A and B are shown apart, each in its own frame.
Chain A
Amino acid sequence: MAKVKKIVKSITIDADKCNGCKACEVICSSWHATPRYSSNNPARSRIRIVRLPLKDIYLPVYAGEYTEAECTGRDKYIIDGKEYNECDFCRASCPSRALFHEPDSGLPLKCDMCEETPALEKPKCVEWCLAEALIYVEKEEEVEENEQPKLGDVEIGIGAMIDKYGLQQVLDTVARMAKP
């Protein structure tokens, strides 16, 4: 299969610089509100800070893929004398925790790097982090052509509903709700 060049976007997290202000959570939830900026609620943010001030743990994590099953990871990491859970570093929206789920519906949240047209210079959380704990990185990578199309928010959401309730119940519900 042919290889094509593609821009891969990521955020490098300099956790030593984070001071736990949650500006990233605030601006993320505002940006993703509909209409844009019309509400603010860090519980809807796609970036969250694992914040344990007395243990000096400040770890921004941004939401990755939705997963239907929880994993077996229960390991502990000790770094510079501070104990982290394996989960603290994990970006998955998974059933074992409330993180990266819409607070009302429980639907998964995923970071989309604030994609829009025209493109932003950098994601909003990076722009609002004056502490420079979040660093936006664009890398050019060669990937296989015919990559699966990227899923949008709605598809991810419906996928999660199907996992939870089964395809038939979701179809029935949509059909019922679509009736005038």
Chain B
Amino acid sequence: MRYGEIGFDLEVDLSRGSIDRVDTDPNDTKLYLGGLGTNAKIMWDRVPPETEPFSEDNLLIFSTGLLCGTAAPGCNRTIVTTISPQTKLVAYSMMGGFWAPELKYAGYDKLIIRGKSEDLVYLWISNDKVEIRDASHLKGMGATETSEAIRKELDDPDIQVAAIGLAGENRVFYASIEQGRSSASRGGIGAVMGDKGLKAVAVRGTKDINIADPAKYMELCNDVLKYIKWREDHPIKGVPPILQGLGSPQEMAIVDEEWHTTNFTWGNSRTRRKDFWTHEIEQKWKETQENVRTRLISCHNCPMKCGATISVPGLPTYMMKCYSKLTYTMAAYSDLDFGFKIAQKATEYGLDGFSAPQAMAFGLELLEAGILTKDDFPGMPDDNEGRFFWLIEKIVRREGIGDYLADGTYWAARRIGKGAEKYDHNTIKKHEQLPLKLGMLNPVYYLMYSTGEKINITQIEGQFPQEPFATRELREEFVKDWIQVPDEKFKKYYVDWEPRGEMSNPYYPTVEASCEIVDWMEKMHYIDDSLGMCAGLSSFPLKPPYHIHNYPDFITAATGIKMDKDELWQAATRTRTLMRALNVRRGMRRADDKPPEDHWRKRFPDLEKQLLDQYYKLKGFNDQGIPTKESLVQLELGYVAEEFEEKGIYVNG
């Protein structure tokens, strides 16, 4: 018997209509844990580098994490992995909610989709019974609508559904997969699902997940729960409200948006409005939010309440979390009321809340600049909000200008030409980023933006504060109960870090320290993504309940696999390196490892080169960002080195 995990994957070939239950190799669990780690291994073994995103050979993997569905609080993430139509690299978007635990209760660690169905279908997984069902009646339906329709059709309200909307069906490059209160949005994985002709996956499971050392495991879970409670009562002082507690930023609970609205940029990531937040705005937005928010809601087995049910009068109810209430608001220079209204449409259509508003604002900038003309926007209203509502309809249907914008700013700019390229200024590796433009280069963030395989800062950052507290005394106070650090040296890095002067950005933290800080933060995300743990209780917030010191015990107690801190660190390094190798095999090199050019006003080319060199060195990559043979062999990834040699990747760079 396998513990913690199930030991079976569900393989569905939509071209052939075949369904198989396949047992997995326990040795892969030891090496790659599960979730993202084992997804990466499958992608390496089965998706050759020449595979196009929209081809039968591209896999779409829905994975649970190693500890998903066990009693570990907050362990509920679904890790979806495929080749992105937008970046052409590996995308691994994730979602919370209830889907992954349900898949595990149904008796599978992963659902692996290959091939394409000619007609629109949905998949119904009920324990051992799995069916490919006709979805022609769901065509064009919203993602939430689809989920409700399927629950009704199958007559069970406890079925968990992951579905795409019109954007996914029409292969919009930033289409999401929606699942009630959660979504896997980044990288355009919803477009791959649409390309496969798969409208939804419905799951219901009533089987057991077994635990190797039950008493020990429950002791660990209880400790975490106690700590969460304690941490709720002890918010971190001196940081903005959304960074004080646990969970993903508490956007649904908190109405104080001074930090986002004054620090983040408006429009096509252009304007900072430092005077935006006033008492009047605060009152108005508070009223707006409290009027539409019915209830704060949680994901599976998590005491945090990061999501909310939103009922805007006159619109269908939907669920929201985190930051999407502001991305449309700020892209359109509008207000929160508009944000909640358009997010309802975006959720049903299944669109990524970062990319979609930027693509729309980008289109409107091109119109203002005369690169596009009024004729490209026939019938578009004149008001800001009206223009966004008009654009969203065009994009999800790929009509007219919408067909261009549906590919995201990078591809749209190149297709439009006429100088449009320079308006695509906020992408990394062809993928839209947080709307944020700052002054002084931060060395830690420089590395995270440049090198992160997720190509999304919120999935790399965390743990280490974004800024130093004003005084040394405050910093010393902060590190006193900082038990999460993997090594005491990180406390020193933080205490010595000053807001101004010699010991401040960009030269402090030093190149070495910056690399080590990034390494730590990145590792925690890789562990979370393999275990299925929500970053909101681990790698993202300050002083989280899960960390490198208690994770090994969790893994050992759940699975029976002996694991200590060093072995876990090594497993995370292995997955991080394999993810890099996958993208290297698809052509990614050093030249791609860079932030948006205008992310910081003050740039330091020499320092940036040193940072990247040192980071690569620490990671065991060569100066092109390619994992070296030595590091691969040491990580038991010799098969990667062999293929690199065979393909001449080391020689040709």
Binding site for B on A (CB under 8 A): 19-23, 26-27, 30, 33, 35-44, 50-56, 58, 103, 128, 130-131
- Give B303-317 as 1s and 0s: 1 = Cβ < 8 Å from A's Cβ atoms: 101000101000011
- 9 A-B pairs with least C-beta separation: A43-B206, A21-B298, A37-B214, A130-B303, A103-B206, A39-B208, A38-B214, A37-B218, A41-B208
Binding site for A on B (CB under 8 A): 69-71, 73, 98, 105, 144, 148, 157-158, 180-181, 205-211, 214-215, 217-218, 225, 228-229, 232, 294-303, 305, 309, 311, 316-319
Q: How far is the CA of A21 from the CA of B297 in the complex (A)?
A: 8
Contact in complex: B317, A54 (CB < 8 Å): yes
Q: How far is the CA of A54 from the CA of B297 in the complex (A)?
A: 11
Determine the chain A residues whose CB is within 8 A of the CB of B209 once the complex forms. 39-41
Q: How far is the CA of A131 from the CA of B296 in the complex (A)?
A: 11
Number of A-B residue pairs having CB atoms within 8 Å of each other in the complex: 98
| Nearest neighbor of B148 in chain A, beta-carbon distance | A54
Determine the chain A residues whose CB is within 8 A of the CB of B298 once the complex forms. 19-21, 131
Determine the chain B residues whose CB is within 8 A of the CB of A27 once the complex forms. 71
24 contacts between A and B (CB under 8 A): A19-B296, A19-B297, A21-B298, A21-B301, A21-B302, A23-B302, A23-B303, A26-B301, A30-B211, A35-B214, A36-B215, A37-B71, A37-B214, A37-B217, A39-B209, A40-B69, A53-B180, A53-B297, A54-B144, A54-B148, A54-B319, A56-B295, A56-B309, A130-B229
Contact in complex: B218, A22 (CB < 8 Å): no
How near does chain A come to B143, taking the closest CB pair, in angstroms? 12
Contact in complex: B303, A41 (CB < 8 Å): no
Contact in complex: A22, B217 (CB < 8 Å): no
| Known contacts A37-B71, A41-B206, A43-B105: A22-B301 contact under CB 8 Å | yes
Q: How far is the CA of A169 from the CA of B387 in the complex (A)?
A: 73
| Nearest neighbor of B210 in chain A, beta-carbon distance | A39
How near does chain A come to B282, taking the closest CB pair, in angstroms? 26
- Besides A22-B300, A27-B71, 10 more A-B contacts (Cβ < 8 Å) are A23-B302, A30-B71, A35-B214, A37-B71, A37-B214, A43-B105, A43-B206, A130-B229, A131-B298, A131-B303
Determine the chain A residues whose CB is within 8 A of the CB of B217 once the complex forms. 37
Q: How far is the CA of A37 from the CA of B558 in the complex (A)?
A: 11
Determine the chain A residues whose CB is within 8 A of the CB of B69 once the complex forms. 40
Main secondary structure of the interface of B (DSSP, over half): loop
| Nearest neighbor of A23 in chain B, beta-carbon distance | B301
Determine the chain A residues whose CB is within 8 A of the CB of B148 once the complex forms. 54
Contact in complex: B211, A23 (CB < 8 Å): no
How near does chain A come to B94, taking the closest CB pair, in angstroms? 18
Q: How far is the CA of A47 from the CA of B300 in the complex (A)?
A: 15
How near does chain A come to B537, taking the closest CB pair, in angstroms? 13
Contact in complex: B225, A130 (CB < 8 Å): yes
Determine the chain A residues whose CB is within 8 A of the CB of B311 once the complex forms. 56
Determine the chain A residues whose CB is within 8 A of the CB of B98 once the complex forms. 22
Contact in complex: B157, A52 (CB < 8 Å): yes
Max count, chain B CB within 10 A of own CB: residue among A19, A36, A41, A50:
A19
| Known contacts A38-B210, A39-B209, A41-B208: A20-B303 contact under CB 8 Å | no
How near does chain B come to A21, taking the closest CB pair, in angstroms? 4
| Known contacts A54-B309, A130-B228: A37-B300 contact under CB 8 Å | no
Contact in complex: B211, A40 (CB < 8 Å): yes
How near does chain B come to A26, taking the closest CB pair, in angstroms? 5
Q: How far is the CA of A139 from the CA of B217 in the complex (A)?
A: 33
Contact in complex: A19, B305 (CB < 8 Å): yes
Contact in complex: A37, B73 (CB < 8 Å): no
Contact of B207 among A38, A58, A103 (CB under 8 A): A103
Contact in complex: B181, A53 (CB < 8 Å): yes
How near does chain B come to A107, taking the closest CB pair, in angstroms? 14
Determine the chain B residues whose CB is within 8 A of the CB of A130 once the complex forms. 225, 228-229, 232, 303
Q: How far is the CA of A54 from the CA of B206 in the complex (A)?
A: 23
Q: How far is the CA of A88 from the CA of B71 in the complex (A)?
A: 26
Determine the chain A residues whose CB is within 8 A of the CB of B303 once the complex forms. 21, 23, 130-131
Determine the chain B residues whose CB is within 8 A of the CB of A21 once the complex forms. 298-303
Q: How far is the CA of A35 from the CA of B180 in the complex (A)?
A: 34
Determine the chain B residues whose CB is within 8 A of the CB of A50 once the complex forms. 157
Contact in complex: A41, B105 (CB < 8 Å): yes
| Nearest neighbor of A48 in chain B, beta-carbon distance | B158
How near does chain B come to A41, taking the closest CB pair, in angstroms? 4
Q: How far is the CA of A22 from the CA of B71 in the complex (A)?
A: 11
How near does chain B come to A83, taking the closest CB pair, in angstroms? 13
Max count, chain A CB within 10 A of own CB: residue among B144, B229, B296, B303:
B303
| Nearest neighbor of A41 in chain B, beta-carbon distance | B208
Contact of A33 among B181, B214, B294, B297 (CB under 8 A): B214
Q: How far is the CA of A43 from the CA of B229 in the complex (A)?
A: 27
Q: How far is the CA of A66 from the CA of B228 in the complex (A)?
A: 37
How near does chain B come to A127, taking the closest CB pair, in angstroms? 8
Contact of A36 among B70, B73, B181, B214 (CB under 8 A): B214
Q: How far is the CA of A98 from the CA of B448 in the complex (A)?
A: 49
How near does chain A come to B530, taking the closest CB pair, in angstroms? 19
How near does chain A come to B328, taking the closest CB pair, in angstroms? 21
Determine the chain A residues whose CB is within 8 A of the CB of B302 once the complex forms. 21, 23
Contact in complex: B211, A37 (CB < 8 Å): yes
| Nearest neighbor of A131 in chain B, beta-carbon distance | B303
Q: How far is the CA of A58 from the CA of B148 in the complex (A)?
A: 16
Max count, chain B CB within 10 A of own CB: residue among A23, A37, A42, A50:
A37
Determine the chain B residues whose CB is within 8 A of the CB of A33 once the complex forms. 208, 214
Contact in complex: B157, A51 (CB < 8 Å): yes
Contact in complex: A40, B225 (CB < 8 Å): no
Q: How far is the CA of A42 from the CA of B207 in the complex (A)?
A: 9
How near does chain A come to B320, taking the closest CB pair, in angstroms? 12
How near does chain A come to B296, taking the closest CB pair, in angstroms? 6
| Nearest neighbor of B151 in chain A, beta-carbon distance | A52
Determine the chain B residues whose CB is within 8 A of the CB of A44 once the complex forms. 208
Contact in complex: A30, B218 (CB < 8 Å): yes
Determine the chain B residues whose CB is within 8 A of the CB of A37 once the complex forms. 71, 211, 214-215, 217-218
Contact in complex: A38, B211 (CB < 8 Å): yes
Determine the chain A residues whose CB is within 8 A of the CB of B206 once the complex forms. 41, 43, 103
Contact in complex: B214, A19 (CB < 8 Å): no
Max count, chain B CB within 10 A of own CB: residue among A22, A27, A53:
A53
| Nearest neighbor of B300 in chain A, beta-carbon distance | A22
Q: How far is the CA of A42 from the CA of B619 in the complex (A)?
A: 42
How near does chain B come to A47, taking the closest CB pair, in angstroms? 13
| Nearest neighbor of B318 in chain A, beta-carbon distance | A54
Contact of B295 among A19, A26, A103 (CB under 8 A): A19
Determine the chain A residues whose CB is within 8 A of the CB of B71 once the complex forms. 26-27, 30, 37, 40
Q: How far is the CA of A131 from the CA of B253 in the complex (A)?
A: 14
| Known contacts A26-B71, A40-B208: A128-B225 contact under CB 8 Å | yes
Contact in complex: A53, B208 (CB < 8 Å): no
| Nearest neighbor of A16 in chain B, beta-carbon distance | B295
Determine the chain A residues whose CB is within 8 A of the CB of B316 once the complex forms. 54
Q: How far is the CA of A52 from the CA of B69 in the complex (A)?
A: 20
